[in-house]
Structure 1
């Protein structure tokens, strides 16, 4: 009998609480793992998470859910920080809390929704978005990806992360997002590492 893989997670936004499990299930299933345990993410505001002791305490809490293979994933928006600079420093802090667990820290370059922009063509017609839908030339350079999505809606509604993020996470083309968004490619590779 095999032991189920668990991916515990920590996020900053309310939308990611529902969207991240959808995305993790898609990736684990793409990797041939159909029964991964993906508990509801721990939501911790960014200021509290990056404060001294914040990511460490969050990882301690989340790691209690990982009793066998798997690990802890910390995901939040880079905003104006450089993911390549900021991420490794947070990972080092997180690893001091539980060096016996696999831990990953991923910063979505600018914001989670930049990953949707990287695969915008695959979202055409979904959640009130225009059809066809052309992606921006450099999706991770857009500071307000949520606003970009709102401007592409033709149904008169605004993009709302708590309503739209999980359904879009269920349908966007992940291969296209990997090609067009380096932070999504890193996210994918980190999840793959946690489940291997």
Structure 2
């Protein structure tokens, strides 16, 4: 896997800038795989935004999958908050009831479940390594979209917990 790189959301929502970013990323693809574009929907409809942008990507060097996290990427952490309790920054009794993708503010909700404020750069890598994939898949529609996109990019069978 190539090193991921960040592009502002405003650029990813613009078809010309999205294609430029995909072209840069696709230069690093070797063998099977492709480019995964992942960003927050914020207040946009993730299904509509995905459909609009997927049709504008025109890089034939590799496969490209676009995944739009419903509201915020951090909603996936809320969907698997019980697994994050093992991190020392998360309260040992942290729990989140309800649909983590229903409204914006996942970062703020996450901070309420932590002993110190949530910081993207500091906490995202650690939390990504701790989430329970099955629980997150069960609790988040946009995470299910991510799993499907990765299956297509990597040409692998679906995980058993998705069947």
TM-score under structure 2 length normalisation? 0.90
Of 33, 38, 41 in structure 1, the residue corresponding to residue 4 of structure 2 is 41
SS at structure 1 position matched to 2:130: coil
Asked if the contact 2:15–2:53 (Cα under 8 Å) also holds between the matched residues in 1, the reply is no
Q: List per-residue Cα deviations over 1:51-108 (Å, max 9, x = no partner).
A: 24111111111111113211110000010011111011111111x2x13421100001
Contact kept? 2:26, 2:61, Cα under 8 Å: no
Matching of residues 163-182 of structure 1 within 5 Å = 163-182=122-141
Residues paired across the two proteins, number: 155
Tell me, in whole angstroms, the C-alpha distance in 2 between the residues paired with 1:143 and 1:136: 15
Q: What CA distance in whole angstroms lies between the structure 2 residues aligned with 1:181 and 1:78?
A: 14
Partner of 2:26: 63
CA distance in 2, matches of 1:127, 1:53: 42
- What residue ranges of structure 1 are gaps of 5+ in the alignment? 1-37
In structure 2, what is the Cα distance between the partners aligned to 1:152 and 1:123? Answer: 10
Kindly report the root-mean-square deviation, in angstroms, between the aligned alpha carbons of the 2 structures: 1.3
Write out the 4+ residue segments of structure 1 that deviate beyond 3 Å after TM superposition.
none
Bigger Cα displacement from structure 2, 157-166 vs 134-143: 134-143
Contact 2:67-2:142 at 8 Å conserved across structures: yes
Q: Return the alpha-carbon distance in structure 2 between the equivalents of residues 89 and 161 of structure 1.
A: 28
Contact 1:70 1:195 in 2 (8 A): yes
Cα deviation, residue 46, structure 1? 1.2
